[in-house]
Structure formats: structure tokens, C-alpha cells
Amino acid sequence: MKYLTTLVCSTMLSTAIFAETAIETEAENINFDIDKLYVGFGVSHNRVDLSSIGSTDAKASGYQVFAGYEMGSKNGFDLSAEAGVIQSDDFSQINQDANGIWAAAVIKKELPEVNDKLAALVRIGYGINGDDGLLMGFGAQVRVMPQALIRLEYVNKDLSQSYQLNAVYQF
């Protein structure tokens, strides 16, 4: 038991030292590359499930604008950070909207075995204001031009679900 405790502690210490060294090395090499920046605009169909209280679903259309930055790739997966603003009409039956801001990490996987222009993506993030809380989603994107993408996504937020069609422009 004493050996196991020593092993675990030494592993944790060496991991912490390595992580600190890696963070310092990365901090010295931070560069902003405009080629990794992208912006997007989308429309959405949003739904709040009211079936648990014996009512029909509340629905609203909306739109969003967002920006993202590609952080890098690891093992064939691309990581990006995104932030945006979403606006929606008032949901039918509850007279509230889902206007707010959000931020998310997006992981993308190119799918060349299906089509060289197709990629799958997943996201996890957090929204503030209209629909506060955790958001998670998945979808697909298709490259229609060298710098233009079309995304189709499903995003499950704290209270609502959103079906989105987004256009993305990469610089």
C-alpha cells in the first residue's frame, strides 16, 4: 500500500511538473494566426418541451452570429473555441425568448472515407441569459468553397433544443 501511494504521488508530481513546463513553453510561443479565425451566421428552430406539464411544445425561430478560432489538431481531431450571440422570437405559449450569449469548445473530425468535404462535429459549452446553462450538440459540416462551410447542427441547451443551419467563412 505504501508503494502504491508513493507511486501515485510521484506520478502526480511528475505530471504537474510536465504540465507546468508545457504551459510555460506554450505561453512563450503564443501567436494569433488570422488564418485560424472564422465567423458565422445561422438560423435556428428552437423548441421548449412542455409535455411534462401537459402542454404542447413552445417553439420559436431565431438567428445567431458567432466567431471561432481553430486551436489545433491531435490524432485527427480538430479543436476550436467559439463564442456567439443568439436571438430568438418569443416562444409560443410562454412569451419568453432565448436571447443570450454562449461559448463552446468544438471538436471536428474530417470524414474523407465518406466524402473529402464532409466533417462531423460535437460541441460542449455554456450559455448565459436567455437559456442559462450547459449546452451540448452534434452535427455535420460540408465545405462548399475553399473558405466557406455549411453546418447543420442539433444543440441541446438547459431548457431548449435548437436545430441550426449555419454558414461559416474562414479567413
75's torsion region: left (phi>0), alpha (psi -120 to 50) or beta? Answer: left
Asked if 150 and 166 count as a contact pair (C-beta separation under 8 A), the reply is yes
Is pLDDT of 25 > 80? no
Query: What is the signed CA dihedral for 69, 73, 74, 80, rounded to 10 degrees?
Result: 20
Q: Which residues contact 41 (CB under 8 A, 6 or more apart)?
A: 63, 64, 65, 66, 166, 167
Query: Does residue 67 sit in the same domain as residue 84?
Result: yes
Highest-scoring range by mean pLDDT, 2-11, 15-24, 79-88, 137-146: 137-146
For position 26, what pLDDT does the model report?
A: 52
Mark whether 21 and 43 lie in a shared domain.
Answer: no
Mean of pLDDT values over 69-76: 93
Are 3 and 84 in a shared domain?
no
Do 124 and 138 fall within a single domain?
A: yes
Both 46 and 86 in one domain: the answer is yes
Q: What is the pLDDT of residues 76-104, one digit of tens each?
A: 999 999 999 988 777 766 666 678 899 99
Q: Domain holding 102: CATH number?
A: 2.40.160.20
Counting every residue written for the chain, the total comes to: 171
How many structural domains is the chain composed of?
Answer: 2
Domain, as residue range, for 117:
34-170
Q: What pLDDT shows up at residue 149?
A: 96
| Shared-domain flag, residues 20 and 72 | no
Q: Is residue 59 located within the same domain as residue 96?
A: yes
Q: Indicate if the pLDDT at residue 18 is higher than 60.
A: no
Residues 6 and 71 in one domain: no
Residue range 129-151, pLDDT digits in tens: 877 789 999 999 999 999 999 99
**142 and 85 belong to one structural domain:** yes
Report the first-to-last Cα separation within the chain, whole angstroms: 56
Tell whether 16 and 48 lie within a shared domain.
no
Q: Are residues 53 and 88 in the same domain?
A: yes
